[in-house]
Amino acid sequence: MQLLSSEKCRHAHSGHPVEDLQDEREPREQLRRSSETSKLEEYHAVINAEVTMANLAEELQQDTNAVDGQSAKFGGDDSLIWDSGAGRSICNKKHVPNYELSHSDHPGFSGPSGERIKVNGRTRVHFTDENLGTTAEARFIVADKVTRPILSGGEINDCGNITISSAKGAFVVSEETAREACEALMPHAKLVFSRAGPGRLYEHESRLLPQPALFCFRGRCEH
């Protein structure tokens, strides 16, 4: 069978010249390609927008973390407390986010109910005093199951300070600055506690005396 050339032939169904049909197809093909190109460009535009928004969100998150890190309250929802009976200053890892920990040989602590509190490490914490508008540093043991940071009064004093407390609060003064004032107060002291050395408890030497007499007033007696 011999195939006839389509040149100058008319379409069998439409009766139009082949050239006319080709001319009609070309605009439609160009339109189809243009439509596909537009869709592809639109797709890339959406992807680029999503990437841009993701990068922007990440940058905003990083900025937010930086601001939170600068203004975060030491201890989170719970304030740092001072404890004259604590042998070591201690805090939780969540209290010092982004702080690097050093190794600690501390064996750990016993909790109130006898559970073991594991030590994760130690670090030197830099924090502010919002009342005085100053900054301070102290060494902390970092351990789990600690609900709020505890500043050891003994460790503060081991670093060359004197802690003075009252019913309204407490404050820390350099021993060099406070020595003269404290020596002047010693003759008026009501109780004296001694300490065997760094990390040890403050102990009081005393003897038990007979119970005080009852004081009765209007039928009510009290010691």
**pLDDT tens by residue, 106-145:** 888 777 777 888 899 999 999 999 999 999 999 999 998 8
Q: What is the pLDDT of residues 171-190, one digit of tens each?
A: 999 999 998 898 999 999 99
pTM of the model: 0.60
SS3 55: helix
> Which CATH number among 3.40.50, 2.60.40, 2.40.70, 3.30.40 corresponds to the domain 81-184?
2.40.70
**Residue 74 to residue 97: CA distance in whole angstroms:** 10
Going from the C-alpha of 193 to that of each of 53, 92, 112, 198, 202, the distances in angstroms are 63, 30, 25, 14, 6
Going from the C-alpha of 6 to that of each of 20, 116, 188, the distances in angstroms are 12, 94, 124
Q: Can you point out the beta strands (E) in the chain?
A: 81-83, 90-91, 109-110, 116-117, 119-129, 134-143, 150-152, 161-166, 169-174, 194-195, 202-203, 215-217, 220-222
